[in-house]
Amino acid sequence: MKYTDLNAWLNYIEGLHPTVIELGLERVKAVAERLNLLEKTCPIVTVGGTNGKGSCVAISEAILLSQGYRVGSYTSPHLLKYNERIRINGTSVSDEALCEAFSEIEEVRGETSLTYFEFGTLAAFLLFKRAHLDAWICEIGLGGRLDAVNIVDSDVAIIASIDFDHMEYLGNTREAIGYEKAGIIRAGKPIIYGEENIPTSIVKQAENLLAPLYQMTRDFGYEEHVHDWTWRFQDIKISHCPKPKLALMNASIAMTAIHLLQNKLPVGEEAIKKALSTVSLPGRFEVIPGNPIQVFDVAHNPHSARLLLKHLKEYFSEKHWIFVFSALADKDIAGIIEPFLRQDCEWHVGPLDVPRAASKANLKEVFERLELSVNLYDSVEGAYQAVRNQLRGENEIIIAFGSFYTVAQLMELRL
């Protein structure tokens, strides 16, 4: 074993590869073969898309656990601890388990270079295989076709949504992005698409592989009521479902995936409703009660910003919105802010303490270009502290968003 400390391992694997991202399956697949990870032992769900992936994973995991199955889930990025990425039976794996997995991967990889994400993906699959699980639910990290998670063959694939993000890797049209995301589709296996407007590239890939395509609204969907909601799949309905703390569109997608696995993993209505009433995911419209109320949301592209606005209007339209915001330099910062241009709100903005952060000058330029009034600080923590010190009444609500890093840094400060 090279290290016994998880942080030492993470520092080591972060420096192994010359670039943070190198799309392609050859290297990671070669190491996976040496570890005997490519032979399936249980049903697998892969979850891709621009937004909604983490919620789909969390809800699918919760439903299967509620029925009593043994489940592994893999997501990225994490908020506060790396261990959050790999969960077995609803619990993050231990530092010791991760160190042992990393050590085993290091022993067999030889001269094959692996990125930080690829190393972590192999660790997840190694720990899942050792745990003798009933199901794996794996979030695609970036794109799909060339993402490390795509070395496994899924029984059900999900593409939750398509929008503009990571365009330097995936292309700058919905069709190009859809083509990359569609790389997770497998021959003859179901593919779920979570929006009405589907790129032709996804439809064509499903047709080429004879993969049954299930599309939001056309084949499945949901109806929201005052106190509950109804899930629909073709002529099947489950009524009086509890409203989860996550978006109903993602709950509907997850329930469709679980339904398509019924012949392998039967799940009853009672288990579904129990899971919906308890499932949550840190940083996804996470509401912290108090005076003032605080909302933490990892929205970091225009699509997720529009969803955040929808939720704020639905639940907090009567409040005065105070945004604490920061973002990464390689994101569409103007596009993230634009949904809120017509809202009566305040902006408190400062840079993140990470290498890819947008600088104070970058942030200032975007707000000036959008002709928005903004309060600028030397750090996003400084912005948050200033807001906390300046609060004037019960009608105010703090909304911290713009990046996983924004939420992580401010949640740690709040804690």
- Give the residue, 352 or 392, on which the prediction is more confident: 352
Q: Where are the domain boundaries for CATH 3.90.190.20 in the chain?
A: 286-414
Q: Per the structure block, which two tokens stand in for 223?
A: 């109806």
- The torsion angles phi and psi of 159, rounded to 5 degrees, stand at -115, 105
Give dist(CA 177, CA 162) in Å, integer: 7
Say if CB 349 and CB 363 are below 8 A apart: yes
Mean pLDDT of 163-182: 83
Cα pseudo-dihedral 232, 233, 236, 238, rounded to 10: -40
Say if CB 229 and CB 255 are below 8 A apart: no
Say if CB 373 and CB 343 are below 8 A apart: no
Per-residue pLDDT tens over the stretch 207-246: 999 999 999 999 999 999 999 999 999 999 999 999 999 9
Predicted confidence at residue 236, as pLDDT, reads 97
Calculate ∠ Cα 274-279-282, nearest 5°: 170
Per-residue pLDDT tens over the stretch 69-107: 999 999 999 999 999 999 999 999 999 999 999 999 999
Judged against a pLDDT cut of 60, whether residue 262 lies above it is answered with: yes
CATH class (in words) of the domain with range 6-278: alpha beta
- Strand pairing class (236-241; 229-233): antiparallel
Give dist(CA 287, CA 245) in Å, integer: 9
Say if CB 85 and CB 75 are below 8 A apart: yes
Give dist(CA 65, CA 278) in Å, integer: 12
Whole-prediction pTM: 0.92
Give dist(CA 355, CA 31) in Å, integer: 29
Cis ω before 339 (30° cut-off from 0): no
Predicted confidence at residue 347, as pLDDT, reads 98
At 17, is the pLDDT very low, low, confident or very high (cuts 50, 70, 90)? Answer: confident
Q: Quick one: 286-414 is in which CATH superfamily?
A: Mur ligase, C-terminal domain (3.90.190.20)
Give dist(CA 197, CA 55) in Å, integer: 20
Judged against a pLDDT cut of 60, whether residue 365 lies above it is answered with: yes
At 319, is the pLDDT very low, low, confident or very high (cuts 50, 70, 90)? Answer: very high
